[in-house]
Amino acid sequence: QKEVEQNSGPLSVPEGAIASLNCTYSDRGSQSFFWYRQYSGKSPELIMFIYSNGDKEDGRFTAQLNKASQYVSLLIRDSQPSDSATYLCAVEDRGSTLGRLYFGRGTQLTVWP
């Protein structure tokens, strides 16, 4: 069973601060990593994916991947109250079912004004 672990939070940051969300995974051979945002009562929405070691930036979001440490993180710069949501880390299955995702339980982020 592939494990995806996230710090459960809740994480609370003031508006304008950097929010840092962390995730570790058990399958050393995993190749594809995703961050989803889920507002309360809504479905997950993809915000970033990363395949290569290093950083990937998209607007206020930066995903960081370290395959040697089996660690992936998401940084949110200039956090806004609208960023308040649960952030789900997901790892793609390497087996025959392309696209099958293993999710962590999510980190709840609250950005207060």
Six token digits for residue 43 = 């479905």
Cα separation, 98 vs 78, whole angstroms: 35
Q: Of 47, 27, 22, 28, nearest to 105 (Cα)?
A: 22
Residue 79: burial class (beta carbons within 10 Å; 0-12, 13-18, 19+):
buried
Six token digits for residue 63 = 């995903």
Measured from the CB atom, the residue of 39 and 112 that comes closer to another protein is 39
Among 40, 43, 69, 82, binds another protein (CB under 8 A): 43
To another protein, the closest distance from the beta carbon of 16 in angstroms equals 28
Site string for another protein, 68-107 (x = CB under 8 A): --------------------x-x-x---xxxxxxxxxxx-
Q: Considering the rule CB under 8 A, would residue 19 count as an interface residue with another protein?
A: no
Q: Which residues bind another protein (CB under 8 A)?
A: 4, 32, 42-46, 49, 88, 90, 92, 96-106
